[in-house]
Structure 1
Amino acid sequence: MGAADIVPGVSGGTIAFITGIYFRLLEAINAVPQAFFHHLIRGQMRQFWAACDGTFLLCLLAGILGSIATLASAISHALATYPILIWSFFFGLIVASVWHVGRQVRRYGLLLLLPFSVGTVFAWWVTTLSGSPLSPSMPVYFGAGALAICAMILPGISGSFILVILGMYVPVLDAIRSLDLGILGIFAVGCLVGLLSVARLITWAFHRYHDLVLALLTGFMVGALNKVWPWKETLSWRTNSAGKQVPLNEASISPMGYAELTGDESQLLLAMTCALAGLLLVLLVEWVGRKKQPGPAR
């Protein structure tokens, strides 16, 4: 999830879903406020830890932070050096995730086409938005954290890309690099508020409208494919935290159109191989998850 959240366009929520921990994550997050008031403030640490599935959350958080710390530079370098191949891998991963999430629907029907279409159009629209830099301030950092974490927990919507659209991707990265604890603290509080709010809303919706919500999330992932399409025409640029010019607004084009526009090879065969690798990785993760599951899936 940490590796996915580094990349604008790829959602950590998608990774959580295909690894089978999505609903456990939602339940653990929802349990934190009640466990805090019922146990932690009374000094009942063991009961608090058990009520909010503390070991699971701690392992997950350690994995996310460890991945961000160790893989951020490598992923950024790979995206800059082999953009077509890396985006192809993510494209295949999300295509397989669409299939995986769609299989969780209990009863298929024409009614599901509406939320699926809404999710697809909305996610596609988000991927076409232009960045509009905000003036960094404490309320802006708080709001950016709340919006970004809401996107991160939703399969198909990238929290990093939301920060890019808001113009807050570079300021947040700069705060991380400089260890500005004041800014990071406000951003973290925004993340916490957004996370607790959206997790409760998603859980409520799943309990009452399971298939409709899955159709909506599947649409989100289909629409997000526009962002991870490997062949792009750059329309505008932004300056990253290292002071380099990187693409901001891009339009998807065909492999042939890319070769004509840039003069570079489309790498179509290698791209298809990487996409297949991403697809097979999801299928492998799903197979391993089924082998290790002791009973029927909830």
Structure 2
Amino acid sequence: MSRSTGSYLLDALRGGLMGTAEVVPGVSGGTVALVTGMYDRLILSAGHTVSSLKLLVTDVPKGRGTQRAAQEFRHVDLRFLLAVMAGMIVAALTAAKLVVPLVENHPQRTFAFFFGLVLASLWVPYSESGRRWSPREWIIAALVAVAAFVLSGLPPQEIDDPNPLLVVGIAAVAICALVLPGVSGSFVLLATGIYTVTFNALNDRDLGYIALFGFGAILGLSCFVKLLQWVLEHHHRITMVIMTGLLAGSLRALWPWQPWGSDSRELQAPSNDIPITVALMVAGWLVVVAIIVIERRTSAAHLDNPTGTAIEQPNADSTHS
């Protein structure tokens, strides 16, 4: 297998992990992108794609041609983006069938695994920020964590027949959560009452509802991704500080001991099934640690040999001049 083929398969796998994460309330696809080391690359490519499409819409009708759109599109890592999107779509459709029933039937154990996963993920934005925060940055992260903690404690709603405009609006917000670590798109759907109807539409292939939701998602993404691209390019450190706070606060939604099956979001002390629940927390934590180690070693190897060619070993018989 060539290095490029393996790289695209790995990107598709990363996209698959993002798609799987997004169908679980409380787990963010952006978190997965951050942990697997493709967050900046994904946001920048998506941002340039949005800019290119906007230029096509605005320039061509005015007779300006497609030169500016083409120039913007050259900054897009298209193969990477397509691999990630393909993995996301396939995994989301599969997870809607497999993961959602698992969450519904075994919420405590399932959320224990994701709690450990997100807990270990805190290291990623913290390390990306350069660490050694100032007191001001610690305060900002704490305030963001408190806000995320409060929002993730909102009780779930349920709407059986949502208004089309409501679906578009919620989709626009939920898709922003897709690319924002610590904020779960599925949790947005759950809190606004259209989680069940949305995933039923996916499972039943309700093309009308899916198209409506997709329209809202495109609207939200076209606005939010450009903003996120700008802050990553101009304020990377403080963005990572904020994302660390978001992840920390979002742990509240994943605490395993909650009154599952009710509308209450009350946090409870560990009281039942403790050994297996804790073991699953540790398993989730270890998965992220393994991903981080593999990603760092892969990045280091690529920096040492960026062309992917074999590195010649010195000949034992050779002499120095």
Q: Residue 175 of structure 1: CA displacement?
A: 2.6
1:155 is paired with a residue of what secondary structure?
A: coil
The match for 2:152 is: 127
Give the Cα separation in 2 of the matches to 1:48 and 1:208. Answer: 18
Cα distance per residue 1:37-60 (max 9 Å; x no partner): 667976899988754222112111
Q: Which aligned pairs between 1:70-89 and structure 2 lie closer than 5 A?
A: 70-89=94-113
What displacement does 1:131 show?
3.3
CA pair 34-153 structure 1, distance change in 2 beyond 3 A: closer
**Offset from partner CA, 1:203-222 (integer Å, 9 cap, x none):** 22223332222111111111
User: How high is the TM-score relative to the length of structure 2?
Assistant: 0.78
Structure 1, unaligned stretches of length 5 or more? 235-245, 257-265
The structure with more radius of gyration: 2
The separation in 1 between residues aligned to 2:162 and 2:22, in whole angstroms, is 21
The match for 2:266 is: 251
SS in 2 for 1:233: coil
1:267 aligns with 2:282: no
Is the 1:36–1:48 Cα contact (8 Å) retained in structure 2? no
Partner of 1:16, secondary structure, is helix
Segments of 5+ residues of structure 2 without an aligned counterpart are 1-17, 305-321
RMSD: 2.4
Question: Which stretch of structure 1 is more off in the superposition, 58-67 or 80-89?
Answer: 80-89
2:174 aligned with 1:148, yes or no?
yes
Indicate whether 1:231 and 2:252 are aligned.
Answer: no
1:60 and 1:123 mapped to 2: Cα distance?
27
| TM-score between both structures, scaled by the size of structure 1 | 0.84
Aligned positions of 1:280-291 closer than 5 A: 280-291=286-297
Aligned position for 1:199: 225
Asked whether 1:15 is paired with 2:39, we answer no
Q: Distance in 2 between matches of 1:131 and 1:108?
A: 35
- Distance, in Å, in 2 between the alignment partners of 1:209 and 1:43 is 31
One-letter code of the match for 2:201? A
Deviation readout 1:259-280 (Å, 9 max, x if unpaired): xxxxxxx222222221111111
1:292 matches 2:284: no
**In 2, Cα distance between equivalents of 1:90 and 1:121:** 20
Q: Is the 8 A contact 2:154 2:265 kept in 1?
A: no
* Equivalence for 1:52: 76
CA 1:21 to 1:110, structure 2 compared with 1: closer, same or farther past 3 Å?
same
Equivalent residue in structure 1 for 2:133, among 102, 108, 111: 108
- Matches of 2:29 and 2:50 in 1, distance apart? 23
Partners of 1:93 and 1:138 in 2: how far apart? 35
Deviations 1:129-186 (A, max 9, x none): 1234566222111101101011121111111111111111122223323333232222
- Report if the CA contact (8 A) 1:9-1:228 is conserved: yes
Classify 1:2/1:198 alpha carbon distance in 2 versus 1 (closer, same or farther; 3 Å): same
1:8·1:161 contact (CA, 8 Å) conserved in 2? Answer: yes
Letter in 2 for 1:126: L
Q: Distance between the aligned counterparts of 2:204 and 2:280, measured in 1?
A: 35
Q: Distance in 2 between matches of 1:39 and 1:166?
A: 34
**2: CA distance between counterparts of 1:37 and 1:275?**
44
1:91 to 107, 115, 120: 115
